[in-house]
Structure 1
Amino acid sequence: MRGLICGPKLAACGVVLSIWGVIMLAMLGIFFTMHSAVLIEDLPLTDEDTFKNSTTPQKVYDLYQKVGYNCFIAAAVYVLCGAFSWCQMRLNKQNYMNSHS
């Protein structure tokens, strides 16, 4: 069948992983843009950023926004991968129905 790249089990696994990736990354993006204090260890801060700079709070807030934006981009990539896997599941189902009719 034309356009069929992966089997039914791999396609289903791709859908499940994509759903989980979208949920997880969207939540992380929301929490980073809300400047969650729990996630400060996940920011790419250096000692110079935290101790020697007088504009530290604004720099930290900018990093929170940047990382949150990156999480939303990654969630969008997972949506695309999920859509591809969903199409593969549909093609596998059509292929199965055509071969057994």
Structure 2
Amino acid sequence: MACLICGPKLATCGIVISIWGVIMLAMLGIFFRTHSAVLIEDVPLTEADMKEDKNPPQNIFTLYNQVGYNCFIAAGIYVLVGAFSFCQIKLNNRKEYLVH
């Protein structure tokens, strides 16, 4: 049995937002993995990260990579939301053809 949860407009909105989220977060993930200097403000650095470590750049690069992985995970979640929205659009289209 099909589980119709949202209407066609909400499902379409979910697809649009999912596409935007996947593109944006995938690009951010790539830029974090390449250690883009512009994104240094978005890396969760503390003063202890730089003083306690004997090799501070390596610690910063590790934090960059972790944020990049988080972006890829969030992009994956957006893919799931997009797939759910696509299924909802298909169920709404199928419902239109049913005779009541």
Normalising by the residue count of structure 1, what TM-score does the alignment of the two structures yield? 0.92
1:59-91 Cα deviation digits (max 9, x unpaired): 000011111011001101100100000000010
Question: Residue deviations 1:29-66, cap 9 Å, x none?
Answer: 00000000000110000012234533210000001111
- Structure 1 runs of 4+ with >2 Å offset: 50-54
- Matching of residue 15 in structure 1 with residue 50 in structure 2: no
Cα distance, 1:99 vs structure 2: 4.0
- Please name the residue that 1:77 is paired with: 77
1:5 corresponds to which residue?
5
Deviates most, 28-37 or 54-63: 54-63
**Runs of at least 5 residues in structure 2 that lack an aligned partner in the other structure:** none
- Alpha-carbon offset, residue 2 of structure 1: 2.9
Residue equivalent to 2:25:
25
Number of matched pairs:
100
CA contact (8 A) 2:53 2:59 kept: no
The match for 2:44 is 44
Distance 1:32 1:54 in 2: 22
The residue number in structure 1 matching 2:68 is 68
Secondary structure of 1:45's match? coil
Task: Provide the aligned C-alpha RMSD in A.
Answer: 1.5
TM-score between the two structures when normalised by the length of structure 2? 0.93
Match of residue 97 from structure 1: 97
Q: Is the 8 A contact 2:11 2:89 kept in 1?
A: yes
AA at the equivalent of 1:34 = T
CA distance in 2: counterparts of 1:2 and 1:36, whole angstroms: 45
